[in-house]
Amino acid sequence: MLFRLGELFCGPGGLAWGAINADIGNPDYKIVHQWANDYDESTCKTYRRNICPESPESVYCADIRKFDTTKLSAIDALAFGFPCNDFSVVGEQKGIDGVYGPLYSYGVNVLRQYRPKWFLAENVGGLRNANDGKAFAKILDELRGAGYKLYPNLYKFEEYGIPQARHRIIIVGIRNDIDLEFKIPSTAPYEGCDNTCKTAIEVPPIPKDAPNNELTVQSSTVVERLKYILPGQNAFTADLPEELMLHVKGAKISQIYKRLDPTKPAYTVTGSGGGGTHIYHWSEPRALTNRERARLQTFPDTYIFEGNKESVRKQIGMAVPCKGAKIIFEAILKTFARIPYEAMEANIEE
């Protein structure tokens, strides 16, 4: 059974990589790229280069609010990581009332138009609490109303062997007329695996001339400050001399000038932010390179990102970890192939 995948808000291709690389040992069950959409030109170039170099015209660069989804080719599956800006705990949390909050509805429209057999929708963990929980309930109601059984879960990717603490709500939906039930893949097979950030970044070593591996130029003040910050500490928990302290009013975000702990998975890779938010090496007084950040997101080193350095940083930070996505897509394929797999209870009540 071949599943032609359409994707909205496709980003640089973390979900897509997981989908087209999903392998359950039965070549009759696989996912292939059909079309994708994103509004950012550099992001679309990255996706075309790595996911569908032979059909670049199948990636439509357009604002979803102005994009005609009615003339796309038929699909059997849909993936959409709808923008999280209004649901993120770091943002203003406007939820459904924000500029980005309502964009999930375009995914619902495509489900109604094309009636794919299944879908995968992704967003930040903060989605559950946006608008006092009403936003999440509304989204679930509309997805259900489009004709799908829903299987939402908060995936903690570090529990699936990913070298990064990244928590995301992923909703798998199977069309109502299909007599199958999706199960959340178990974290048990990944217990005890080495998913430390140090191993992810150093094994194997990243070649000096690897793409997207330019060093960030650090000011002398930042270099000096980092010398006082121990692995796992940030600018507020470290014992800094007065002249290197940050005098920030209000919230003290724990990731400001936070150094990685080499014995643990990385903290969450983000796509934007000012000084102090770039993720900092545990022993060298510097921010990580984009290639090192891509390793924490489990992109292969052969995955080349298009655009300037800040654009690449944003693309990597907004993506779903490739290998985490692959695990979930393989569970979907096994569900359709009726192959049993180790599962666990969902942590979100549907």
Tens of pLDDT, residue by residue over 42-73, are 999 999 999 999 999 999 999 999 999 999 99
- Answer whether residue 214 is part of any domain: no
Q: What pLDDT, on the 0 to 100 scale, is given for residue 83?
A: 67
List pLDDT tens digits, range 277-318: 889 999 999 999 999 999 999 999 999 999 999 999 999 999
Average pLDDT over all residues of the chain: 91
- Answer whether residue 291 is part of any domain: no
- Answer whether residue 237 is part of any domain: no
Q: What pLDDT, on the 0 to 100 scale, is given for residue 158?
A: 98
For the annotated catalytic residues, the residue numbers are 84
- Answer whether residue 168 is part of any domain: yes
Tell which residue, 119, 125, 47, has the closest CA to residue 84.
125
Residues 18 and 39: their CA atoms lie apart, in Å, by 21
Q: What pLDDT, on the 0 to 100 scale, is given for residue 132?
A: 75
68-80 exposure pattern, b = at least 16 Cβ within 10 A, e = fewer: ebeebeebbbbbb
pLDDT mean over 160-177:
97
Residue 109 pLDDT grade (very low, low, confident, very high; cuts 50, 70, 90):
very high
CATH number of the domain within which 30 lies = 3.40.50.150
Residue 216 pLDDT grade (very low, low, confident, very high; cuts 50, 70, 90):
confident
Q: What pLDDT, on the 0 to 100 scale, is given for residue 283?
A: 96
Helices then strands, counting H and E runs in the chain, come out as 9, 9
70's CB contacts (< 8 A; 6+ apart) are 113
pLDDT at 96 over 60: no
The domain total for the chain is 1
Please work out, in degrees rounded to the nearest 5, the angle formed at the alpha carbon of residue 324 by the alpha carbons of 289 and 96: 90
Q: What pLDDT, on the 0 to 100 scale, is given for residue 277?
A: 87
pLDDT at 328 over 50: yes
Q: What pLDDT, on the 0 to 100 scale, is given for residue 254?
A: 80
pLDDT at 99 over 90: no
pTM: 0.93
Q: What pLDDT, on the 0 to 100 scale, is given for residue 135?
A: 82
Task: Give the residue numbers spanning the domain of 24.
Answer: 2-191+321-344
- Answer whether residue 266 is part of any domain: no
Residues 22 and 30: their CA atoms lie apart, in Å, by 7
- Answer whether residue 133 is part of any domain: yes
- Answer whether residue 34 is part of any domain: yes
List pLDDT tens digits, range 242-271: 899 887 766 566 888 999 999 999 999 998
Residue 229 pLDDT grade (very low, low, confident, very high; cuts 50, 70, 90):
very high
Q: Give the SS3 label for residue 184.
A: strand
Residue 342 pLDDT grade (very low, low, confident, very high; cuts 50, 70, 90):
very high
Residues 340 and 322: their CA atoms lie apart, in Å, by 23
Sign of CA dihedral 65, 132, 130, 253: positive
Neighbours of 122 (CB within 10 A): 22
pLDDT at 85 over 60: no
Q: What pLDDT, on the 0 to 100 scale, is given for residue 248?
A: 74
- Answer whether residue 218 is part of any domain: no
Q: What pLDDT, on the 0 to 100 scale, is given for residue 286?
A: 94
